[in-house]
DNA sequence: TATTGTTATACTCTATAACTATA
DNA sequence: TATAGTTATAGAGTATAACAATA
């Protein structure tokens, strides 16, 4: 929703504060837009970017990939088809199960995702750089704490689980 | 990207911290997923939800709507078509310009977006509730400060501009 | 029989280009 | 001529259901 404007009563905009929900919602849109913009520079959609991101340190089967991306396996087939057509990923038959295929990043795909990543990271760091160092550090610490707590609440160990990674 | 795992060296996961970029990226995905999930409960996509959200306090022309949503006018036509077919919005001919149409929320649309909003807000508040009150307040303040600073940096007054609202 | 992956199909979302009806 | 909106068309992304090959 990132819903209505948090249309503050009036007056001192300089010190006004968004309500917590609107703040987090808006922040999520700002960050997604940064990601989208940088991905688009390389003709990547968010979906393609997620795919490449997940493959940076894995070589999963289609099935595992579908679980990692939280998509239906048929959607994953299509996603991989289009990436493969562009030479960004490759399908490799599994040696242990003749039904299965492994999906892996090509050099070209790896290079593309690295470039987009780097630009995106720079965007976020630039935005963070607008805050005084003390605020910046505090924010990072709190965001991290929130994510870890939230993940734990969902029964996920952020630092071990495969699901919490790569979005 | 919400990129690689921030695969910490090892050890004490309890005190480990995500790097700032990954933290914000992951947070944005978590929040978007909450929004998506709640919208889906009412058979709404993110796009439809944004549309309804924007219309909560406006009755724009198609043209204005396209600008508000940052979409091509033809995309907006389709979006409104589908929402209208479901009875969530209505097209009203402009009285001042016979080429133009105004788009407005129906009661049904307003009710739907309110319900989805409420559920989403509850989700975010629940997540925030996992933090101790002091952390929660600090986080809200910092997020707000970051958004205001970032908006200012882009030449936007978060509290006046039409663009910063509703995502 | 169960699982892996693909195909067939359908719908949403988005954009570009061409069109119409006003202005 | 210029603007407001729609239509025609095309492609990405997603899901469900049915299917072939293998386990």
Three-state SS letters, A121-162: HHHHHHHHCCCCHHHHHHHHHHHHHHHHHHHHHCCCCCCCCC
Query: Chain B within 8 Å of A47 (Cβ-Cβ)?
Result: no
List of chain B residues with pLDDT < 50: 1-14, 160-167
Kindly state the average pLDDT of the residues A77-91: 98
pLDDT of residue A66: 98
For the cut 50, the answer to whether the pLDDT of residue A148 exceeds it is yes
> Which chain B residues touch A120 with a CB distance below 8 Å?
1, 21, 25
Per-residue pLDDT tens for A57-72? Answer: 999 999 999 999 999 9
Kindly state the average pLDDT of the residues A17-42: 90
pLDDT of residue B167: 35
Mean pLDDT, rounded, of chain A: 86
Better-scored residue on pLDDT, A111 or A14: A111
Better-scored residue on pLDDT, A102 or B30: A102
Better-scored residue on pLDDT, A139 or A164: A139
Nucleotides on strand C lying under 7 Å from protein C-beta: 3-9, 12-18, 21-23
Q: Which residue is nearest to nucleotide D17 (CA to C1')?
A: A74
Q: Terminus-to-terminus CA distance in chain B, angstroms?
A: 20
Better-scored residue on pLDDT, A77 or B11: A77
> Which chain B residues touch A2 with a CB distance below 8 Å?
35, 53, 166-167
Interchain contact, A25 vs B31, CB within 8 Å: yes
C1' (C11) to CA (B53) span, angstroms: 23
Per-residue pLDDT tens for A124-142? Answer: 999 999 999 999 999 999 9
Better-scored residue on pLDDT, A36 or B155: A36
pLDDT of residue A17: 79
Q: Which residue is nearest to nucleotide C22 (CA to C1')?
A: B99
Q: Residue B46, CA: closest nucleotide via C1'?
A: C13
pTM: 0.85
Number of other residues whose CB lies within 10 A of the CB of residue B145: 18
Report the distance separating Cα A80 and Cα A90, nearest Å.
Answer: 8
Count chain A–chain B contacts defined by CB atoms under 8 A: 213
Kindly state the average pLDDT of the residues A11-29: 76
pLDDT of residue B165: 39
Report the distance separating Cα A64 and Cα A60, nearest Å.
Answer: 6
Query: Chain B within 8 Å of A40 (Cβ-Cβ)?
Result: no
Query: Chain A within 8 Å of B5 (Cβ-Cβ)?
Result: yes
Kindly state the average pLDDT of the residues A110-129: 95
Beta strands in chain B (DSSP E): 89-93, 101-105
Q: Which residue is nearest to nucleotide C12 (CA to C1')?
A: B45
Q: Which residues touch strand D (CB under 7 A)?
A: A 45, 47-48, 71-72, 74-75, 78-79, 82, 97-99; B 61-64, 73-74, 76-78, 80-81, 91, 94, 97, 99-101
pLDDT of residue B151: 86
Interchain contact, B117 vs A56, CB within 8 Å: no
């Amino acid at each position: 929703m990132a819903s209505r404007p948090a249309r503050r009563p009036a007056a001192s905009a300089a010190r006004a504060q968004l309500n917590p929900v609107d703040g987090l919602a808006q922040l999520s849109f700002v960050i997604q837009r940064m990601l989208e913009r940088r991905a688009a520079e390389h003709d990547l959609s968010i979906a393609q970017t997620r795919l490449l991101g997940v493959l940076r340190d894995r070589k999963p089967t289609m099935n595992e990939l579908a679980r990692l991306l939280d998509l239906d396996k048929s959607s994953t087939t299509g996603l991989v088809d289009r990436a493969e057509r562009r030479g960004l990923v490759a399908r490799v038959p599994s040696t242990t199960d003749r039904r299965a295929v492994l999906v892996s990043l090509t050099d070209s795909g790896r290079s593309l995702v690295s470039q987009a990543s780097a630009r995106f990271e720079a965007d976020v760091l630039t935005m963070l750089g607008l805050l005084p160092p003390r605020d910046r550090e505090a924010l990072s610490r709190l965001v991290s704490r929130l994510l870890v707590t939230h993940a734990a609440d969902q029964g996920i160990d952020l630092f071990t689980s495969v699901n919490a990674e790569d979005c």
